[in-house]
Amino acid sequence: MCGIAGWIDWEKDLSEQHAVLRKMTASITHRGPDSEGFWLSRHAALGHRRLIVIAPEAGEQPMVYEHGNDKIVLTYNGELYNYRELRKELQEKGHVFQSLSDTEVVLHAYLEWQEDCVTHFNGIFAFGIWDEKVQRLMLGRDHLGVKPLFYTQVGHSVIFGSEIKVLLSHSAVHAEVDREGLAEIFGMGPIRTPGQAVFKGIKEVRAGHYALFTSSKKVTHPYWQLKSQPHTDDVDTTVSKIRTLLEDTVRHQLIADKPLVSMLSGGLDSSGLTAIAGQEYKEKGKRLHTYSIDFVNYEADFKEDFLRRDRDEPWVRKVSEYVGTEHHSIVIGADKLAENLLIPMRARDLPGIGELETSLYLLFKEMKKQATVALSGESADEVFSGYPWFHQPEFLDAETFPWLVNIDFIADVLTDEWKERLQLKAYQKQRYQEALAEVPLLENEDDRHRKQRQMSYMFITRFLTFMLDRKDRASMMTGFEVRVPFCDYRLVEYLWNIPHELKSIDDIEKGILRRALKPYLPDEVRNRRKSGYPSTNDQTYLKAIGQMMVTVLEDPQSPLRRFVKIDRLMQIAQGEDQEITDEQARHVLDYLLQVNAWLKEYEITINL
């Protein structure tokens, strides 16, 4: 895993712009702490930060291919899980390799297939390729959007990078936000519109897309999309195909030249991956290490709610003992959560979900001490339609994104003036209608199945990208790579057309996955009902962020003050507001503390 940066200008000579390029790459040193590299020519400057995972002695970047008049330069973040198969295929076509790295495979795949190279990849990736002969830039991103990629066009320039901060490190790019950006911040929350980066003029390469830039035009193209068709496999065949795909995916994603571990929550998803990986390790005479997160006093503080049925730790111990892993439980206190609240915002360059992101960052920070790579069960709920919303009419019939139903407590604290200016409900509706228009519907599908398909699309293309962003920024902030086997595009393609009643066979969410994992897990673990990512219930944390908000509101220079009803937010911060629950108050305070710090630290200019 790595960080990439680039600056292309068809009019300006960039060959001496080392200082600018170094500043851009320095902003993402955390993504690649092991080494750095630069390549400059008259109209292109490419930079790279490397985190070594595969082929430590090779894969230095930017990587250059030169033959006759051809000169192709690659800066690449990610991993191809099928790089060995692709390498063999390319060798059979006459390509000669100098290393065993997947980076060189990406480069030669472009030489062979040009922009169609992405259709041959199975992995997680974001890259920039500069073709010196034809003066063309290609930006490509993986199928599900596991790895991030942003760009902006300024005059005759294209500036791109793994994170927004790369672009903002360039003097031509300004931290400016317009009405649409504010509507994203206050109306969409952390689950934002794909392709939009909130900052004015900055775009995100969408998952499953590539973009081509020349001096005269830009072309973006979706190389991978979900396609709807009838599911014709019977139950046993469906179970068998899912199991086979998962086994193949995990086997490929265990490839690493650095220590690899697995995240383990005791839930179905992470337990299943851990069991498959654990068996692979046993066959090689090795023992898999696993990690979970817990909170100080969580056993006493735990409260069952809509998303969390029970504590993870008892289940974690059961799975670890059953699979035979060496387990590590990372226990985090409320003080650490409060102290580190703003770090994920700085990693993401945008406000996030607060404590749920902070705890993940702290977990990865501890895991990094022993390993470089981890497997995660992230995304199984999105691709297997595992959330309760998929069968509840209140959400299926809602004319908005399901996660926005009855969630108005952020907008409620805005001033009437800003509510009127931003028209958040209208903005949400516009974005929802745009998403609906993208859904590949199946002919003659009944109303209920159509709505479930639409909801599935929302989760895969919107909610999942948010979850993957959270995972990527929180992990890469510590120079740590997290792999997500449930995001293998082959599995996602297959699951897309499985009807919801088959996905939830045996009258339980993800029932089809439970059947697929029968050879790997004991029944009590397979039948554990979904319980969401843990969240602290320690009142100490709520009091700490409440005091932080009081300090913000009492400071006349705080940029948040212009947007909010100060008296109302002060009541929430002091625990005196009776209209919202403690959990809602925590979300409000977490998020708006980040908004304030974001506006201040990034020196945001508001341009309506």
Catalytic residues, by residue number, are 2
Residues 6+ apart with CB under 8 A from 25: 3, 5, 36, 38, 47, 48, 49, 166
Tell me, what amino acid is at 460?
I
Quick one: DSSP state of residue 580? S
For 279-296, the DSSP string reads HHHHHTT---EEEEEEET
CA separation for the pair 341, 314 (Å, rounded)? 28
Among positive and negative, which fits the CA dihedral 107, 112, 117, 123? negative
Cα-Cα-Cα-Cα dihedral of 66, 67, 71, 75, to 10°? Answer: -40
Which residue is associated with the tokens 């292309």? 8
Note whether 462 and 468 are within 8 A (CB): no
**Is 293 marked as binding a ligand?**
yes
How do 202-204 and 150-154 pair as beta strands? antiparallel
Note whether 512 and 386 are within 8 A (CB): no
Q: Find, among 153, 198, 152, 194, the residue nearest to 179 by Cα.
A: 198
Note whether 449 and 333 are within 8 A (CB): no
Note whether 291 and 262 are within 8 A (CB): yes
Looking at 195-340, which runs of residues are DSSP E strands? 202-204, 209-213, 218-222, 260-263, 289-295, 326-332
**Is 376 marked as binding a ligand?**
yes
What does the angle CA 72 – CA 75 – CA 77 come to, to the nearest 5 degrees? 140
Which residue is associated with the tokens 């509101």? 553
Radius of gyration, CA atoms only, the chain = 24
- Containing 532, the helix (H) or strand (E) segment is none
**Is 412 marked as binding a ligand?**
no
Which residue is associated with the tokens 């629950």? 581
Binding site membership: which residues? 102, 293, 376-377
